[in-house]
Amino acid sequence: MSSMFQGRAFDRQQRILAYVRSEGRAVVSEIADMFAISPATLRRDLRALESQRLIARSYGVFYPTDSGRYETPLEHRHKAKTAERLAIAEAAVAMIAEVGTVLIDEGALLEDLIGPMRRLSRMTVVTRSLTVAAELGRHTDHDVIIVGGRLRPTTMGTVDRWATSMLSEVNVDLTVMGTNGVSLERGLTTPDPAVAQAKTAALEAARQCVLVCEHTKFGVASFAKFADLKQVTWIVTGKQLPRAAAQRYSEAGPKILRV
């Protein structure tokens, strides 16, 4: 393959990636004409981006993923609510049912916990997510404690000194944590250092940690590290994560639940 052809393909794939990130999703049949290429070429480009973990596919629709310093806006993550995500949320809530106090992280997958948590007996919920706090306060009788701090519009979560200070003063049975990347070499990572500080404080406030993440997060290292794998009690993810990979991660410390 010539370098000129490779250059054209790379430039085209970067334009496609920019589109997927701006729109939150891409359907081959809808955008092939937009880029003046055949559906077959577009599928190849999307598969190339998927192999680089820049996008993820679910039932023929492609969604942007977090990578490096890029963080998917919350409204786009809502568009990517998949069967895998819902299964992960149900499994995590089953674990929450066994405790009296829980700390819930920010993020779209964490917001998927809200529906199943309506079935739980009354408990104390601490969260940095304004969305989680508002929905639980509106639809459940749980005691909800909101962690203060600077609000990040991308995820509607709080960060910085007020957040980490408040988290240092609480003790909970369990924290349910999300991540942008999890790897054997770099541990748990996220694009924003302020978020990393808040996540570290949340881990230190809890006796146990349940990490919830889709299979596409494995092998990904983002900008700022916030924990080692050995600090995680459980990782709940989709069955799309191969058993062999799950075994490698479990050898680093956490128990792996594939749902």
pLDDT attached to residue 77: 56
**131 and 223 in one domain?**
yes
Nearest to residue 220, comparing CAs of 247, 257, 189?
A: 189
The CATH number of whichever domain residue 216 belongs to comes to 3.40.50.1360
**248 and 127 in one domain?**
yes
**168 and 96 in one domain?**
yes
Cα separation, 194 vs 211, in Å, equals 19
**34 and 154 in one domain?**
no
| Residue 28 region by backbone torsions, left for phi larger than 0, else alpha for psi between -120 and 50, else beta | alpha
Q: Which of 37, 64, 91 is the last residue of a domain?
A: 64
Does some domain include residue 78? Answer: no
**246 and 123 in one domain?**
yes
pLDDT attached to residue 1: 45
For the chain (length 259 residues), average pLDDT per consecutive 10? 60 88 79 84 88 76 68 58 90 97 96 96 98 97 98 94 98 97 96 96 98 92 95 97 97 97
Does some domain include residue 71? Answer: no
pLDDT attached to residue 5: 46
Give me the domain span that covers residue 107.
83-258
Sequence-ordered alpha helix ranges (H) in the chain: 3-23, 28-31, 39-51, 74-79, 83-96, 108-111, 114-117, 130-139, 161-167, 193-204, 243-250
**26 and 117 in one domain?**
no
pLDDT attached to residue 72: 63
The CATH number of whichever domain residue 46 belongs to comes to 1.10.10.10
**101 and 176 in one domain?**
yes
The β-bridge partners of 190 are: 224
Does some domain include residue 72? Answer: no
CA 94 to chain centre: 19
pLDDT attached to residue 80: 57
Strands 143-146, 124-127: pairing kind: parallel
Mark 114-139 as b/e (b = at least 16 C-beta within 10 Å): bebbeebeebbbbbbbbbbbebbeee
**113 and 33 in one domain?**
no
